[in-house]
Amino acid sequence: MSAGKRGALIIFEGCDRSGKTTQSRLLVELLKSKGIPTLPMNFPERSSSIGQVINSYLTNSKDLPDEVIHLMFSANRWEHMNQVRQKLLEGTTLVVDRYSFSGVAYSAAKGLDFDWCYAPERGLIKPDAVFYLRAPSNDLTNRGQYGEERYEKVEFQGRVAEVFDRICSKEASYFHKFDATQSVEDLHALIGRITEELLPKVATQPLDTLS
């Protein structure tokens, strides 16, 4: 690989059980099969000490004020930024399940101020593409394991989706919105095509930050 060719930062976003995990796994497999250096990631990254606090909060064993947990989610992204930057500059494409936008959407849906929620994300590495999987919240309850984690309540997920829609129009230049009710194969084909067009375009572009 020639010097200066970087990897892409690709994010999957959407409500719980919208298919992000499946689609991100399929995309990683596709890119690897084409010999493209690719790594999966997901946030929260639960292995760090901050990540462990988040994990105990999400599994309902720890209670924290909404503001505190929001800042911990953000700190969890920040603590991995050097690693993310290094991987991208080495030429590895990162496929990430959830990022800043989930942090903002879930906290704003709980009633926190949108701009306050967005503020600690400014300066994080900006994604090259966000694949936003949109499904009606009453559709999602039919999917497996729904309701096990704190945020999986239908009415709440509806509010989360509204904030995601707002972010999607704010960040329209790199957000790609998909109907998550279509078949896994169709969705994967669309995402794969966009990604393959994207990689050569971003390879020579400098990394940008969220503003």
Rounded to whole angstroms, the Cα distance separating 201 from 150 reads 39
Please state the domain count of the chain: 1
The distance of Cα 172 from the centroid of its chain, to the nearest Å, equals 15
CATH of the domain at 124: 3.40.50.300
Q: Is residue 92 part of a domain?
A: yes
Q: Is 150 exposed, middle or buried (0-12, 13-18, 19+ CB in 10 A)?
A: middle
Q: Mind giving me the DSSP string for 55-94?
A: HHHHTTS----HHHHHHHHHHHHHTTHHHHHHHHHTT-EE
What are 126-168's pLDDT values in tens digits? 999 999 999 876 665 555 555 566 666 778 888 999 999 999 9
For the entire predicted model, the pTM comes to 0.91
pLDDT band for position 32 (cuts 50, 70, 90): very high
Check whether 1 has a pLDDT greater than 50.
no
Pick the range with the lowest mean pLDDT from 38-52, 53-67, 174-188: 53-67
> What is the chain's alpha carbon radius of gyration, rounded to the nearest angstrom?
17
Neighbours of 68 (CB within 10 A): 12
Q: Has residue 131 been placed in a domain? A: yes
